[in-house]
Structure 1
């Protein structure tokens, strides 16, 4: 992409400008003396610690936008999520699904969800500035290395595009502006934001980083597949204490012990009543036969329950696998068709 994703008319942050000699600086504030204003605020909008001429600007933007782990894992992300960059629920639908919106400043956690939580990174003010895109992410004279500039541009495009799915209606915008988890900069208007995201509709998957070829990602699956492909213990730890980590296994372990206890008890009853059944004169013959029958039925019920759970798990897993493989096939075929065209 050779130009910013939106025009100067659509930008929501007008605090930056590119001078005629190719430098970037703060725009003069009409309410104050322009010279005083620019001297005081030569920093990235919303980030007072980062000066516009900071030599570590590249490292800062990489930390704020890049997702190298997910880009590396992207060939296998079809095992984690639906292969659709638009597979992102709006903010109101996140609430409908019972998810709490958790603010994160880590781009690697943006749109990652776990049980009743979804992690969302707020939209930085500087990404809404046309001058920022012109100077840092598009210009061939940028102070950033070319490879890093390309990586950051693709990451920023994907990140910015994700907000066109998160905020689709006025109710989504109201949630995004809520003080409890402000996702958009202050003083952002609904009409201005809609005007901005309409200009993002032309951003295709080939323009964004591999991570943003997908939408929401399930953390439990990420934690599982990161062990397989990247040989790491977890993508993101949820439990901060070992007691909480091992507490997850208490239920399944107790269930297993309960099943084994029932099986062993039933087998003990069967063997205990065999002598009584073989003894035709035993006064407890009928009860012994009933006990044996009940024990055998107990084993049958336990076996049926176990088989049912196994079949249900295999059915769900196979259905998702078939769906993912079918999606993968159609996506690759579509990409091949576009390439040939």
Structure 2
């Protein structure tokens, strides 16, 4: 699989490819390393793969339509705030009045990078000795989780989404203002790149996630909560209440709305009982009594359920935090009690 385009829109096309990478990136174990000093293949897996979206590939029809994303100017017309999200699985995901977009990396705009790192003939990079010496064997991933073809499919999908997002020069200006594309790319070179890419584009060459354009965050959360069993966290915490107080406030607000409807119905029943026609109606009396008792019991149960869920969330997060803290300190070789570094054998 070669580069999907030949013209390099970057002004300095002879640049050292390593300079197109970010300053740092996070690998397994939450260790921070320099992409230029570590394995580029591992970096690309962390940057481009979307395993959480792939895990619900068959349910994506619930979250969006199988069509390219709408241009940036259309997103603005819809009242959506364009927000940067460097995580690939948040790209083209929207919620309420925001749409999250992963900026198009400069390295994906260089044909040489595709031939070097995203070509099946290359087969990927191997771990280098400098990375092992600098970071230690415990902080460097030693195995790959995807093939070069999978990486290229995700990269092609991301690039394809931008050919749809930046269709007009007005979209291009919005992209520049929001730092979605490198500053050195100009409109004419972008048009040429899109022409070259779209000439040979096929949907079979991109990751199936990119068959769908914009995905809805609330529906992704529901799929993960009820389909994957991630009851507390869902797909993402982005846009969710940031504290337990906010979570309780939101849920009790919904419960208050239900309570308001119940009050209206009970008030209507009381008025009905006060009338001569319904005062002696045994069926209406029984229905009013049953609904009143049911409403009281239901509201008490729902209130208790909200509190229980909140307590379970607190306990779950506390256990997860303490477990992670213990594992993290063991991996980094520090002693939180003595506040000193310890050498592992």
Quote the Cα distance in structure 2 between the aligned partners of 1:143 and 1:74: 26
C-alpha contact 2:153 2:206 (8 A) present in aligned 1: yes
Give yes or no for contact 1:112–1:118 (8 Å, CA) kept in 2: yes
Q: Which residue of 1 aligns with 2:184?
A: 187
Determine helix, strand or coil for the equivalent of 2:100: strand
Q: 1:91 Cα shift? A: 0.8
Matched, 1:120 2:101: yes
Structure 1 partner of 2:207? 209
Is 1:12 the counterpart of 2:9? The answer is yes
CA distance in 2, matches of 1:277, 1:196: 79
TM-score, normalised via structure 1 length: 0.67
- Select which of 257, 260, 263 maps to 1:258: 260
Q: 1:59 to 1:104 in 2, by over 3 A?
A: same
Partner Cα separation in structure 1 for residue 278 and residue 114 of structure 2: 88
Partners of 1:56 and 1:112 lie apart in 2 by 29
Q: Distance in 2 between matches of 1:123 and 1:48?
A: 16
- Equivalent positions of 1:233-244 (< 5 A) are 233=231, 234-237=234-237, 238=239, 239-244=241-246
> 1:47, CA displacement in angstroms?
2.4
Listed one character per residue, the Cα deviations across residues 90-120 of structure 1 (whole Å, up to 9, x for unaligned) are 1111110000000111101000000000001
Q: Distance in 2 between matches of 1:171 and 1:122?
A: 17
Q: Which of 270, 273, 281 is the matching residue for 1:271?
A: 273
> What are the Cα deviations for residues 116-145 of structure 1, in whole angstroms up to 9, with x where unaligned?
000011111111111100011115233346
Would you say the 8 A contact 1:135–1:142 is kept in 2? no
Partner of 2:18: 43
Q: Matches of residues 97-112 of structure 1 in structure 2 within 5 Å?
A: 97-112=78-93
Q: Find the aligned partners of 1:274 and 1:250 in 2 and give their Cα distance.
A: 38
For 1:97 and 1:113, locate their aligned partners in 2 and report how far apart those are by CA, in whole Å: 11
Shift of 1:44: 3.7
Between the two proteins, the alignment pairs up a number of residues equal to 252
Contact 1:44 1:52 in 2 (8 A): no
Aligned Cα root-mean-square deviation (Å): 2.7
Q: Does the Cα contact within 8 Å between 1:3 and 1:138 map onto a contact in 2? A: yes
**Residue 218 in 1 paired to residue 213 in 2?**
no
Aligned equivalents of 1:276 and 1:44: distance in 2? 82
Q: Distance in 2 between matches of 1:197 and 1:277?
A: 76
Return the offset for 1:272: 3.4
Q: Could you list the runs of 5+ residues in structure 1 that have no partner in the other structure?
A: 18-25, 28-41, 279-291, 297-341
Q: Unaligned regions of 5+ residues in structure 2, if any?
A: 25-32, 126-143, 289-345
Q: Does 1:173 align with 2:156?
A: no
